[in-house]
Amino acid sequence: GQSLEQPSEVTAVEGAIVQINCTYQTSGFYGLSWYQQHDGGAPTFLSYNALDGLEETGRFSSFLSRSDSYGYLLLQELQMKDSASYFCAVLTTDSWGKLQFGAGTQVVVTP
Amino acid sequence: DGGITQSPKYLFRKEGQNVTLSCEQNLNHDAMYWYRQDPGQGLRLIYYSQIVNDFQKGDIAEGYSVSREKKESFPLTVTSAQKNPTAFYLCASSIGEGVSYNEQFFGPGTRLTVL
């Protein structure tokens, strides 16, 4: 079966950097995605990695190491509005067309 | 504006009643999905459809049913067979080809409470 692991909660102060790790066990790995969800809201897509390396989108970056079955989302210059849950999700060729989501990491930003 | 709409935002039903949640998209996406989210939990896939008139069970399909008669619409029925239906239900869509499956667009969700 497939499994994804990410920390349940991370707390940091405004202006800091937070790294959310995601390790996965899948067969037929195709790509790793990240989503943000504010409390009570809908998830929104942040980034996607299919190849090893770092993808940067403004203050957020995402990294993938296929050989280590590992990725992370890096949040820089944290702002209060970044307080939310962050989910990693994998797409595999074995389950083509659907994403398997992790349980999510709640990021709490304090003043 | 293009997007996904779900209605209603809040829904209350008595135990034993079937209820249908609406999901409509005007993004011209081929693929649509239904997820269930319980407090403090991740997203669990109920059903998905990659094309009109076709759909597949997800990880927790028991007690749910769907139809996909039109590209724009993917309604979900929560039947009385679903043991614990109170949850937040999210509908999503994606373009439906290749790498685009990684990017799903979500509706605002329906919070269902069964009394």
Record: contact B90-A42, CB cut-off 8 A: yes
| Of the partner residues A33, A42, A100, the one whose CB lies closest to the CB of residue B108 | A42
- Rounded-to-integer distance, Cα B58 and Cα B61, Å: 6
pLDDT for B101 equals 84
Q: What is the pLDDT along chain A (111 residues), one digit of tens a residue?
A: 679 999 999 999 999 999 999 999 999 999 999 999 999 999 999 999 999 999 998 999 999 999 999 999 999 999 999 999 999 999 998 888 899 999 999 999 999
Q: Is residue A83 helix, strand or coil? A: coil
What is the secondary structure of A6-26 as a DSSP string?
--SEEEEETT--EEEEEEEE-
- Rounded-to-integer distance, Cα A72 and Cα A38, Å: 19
How far from each other are the two terminal CA atoms of chain A, in whole angstroms? 41
Nearest-Cα distance to chain B for A31, in Å, is: 7
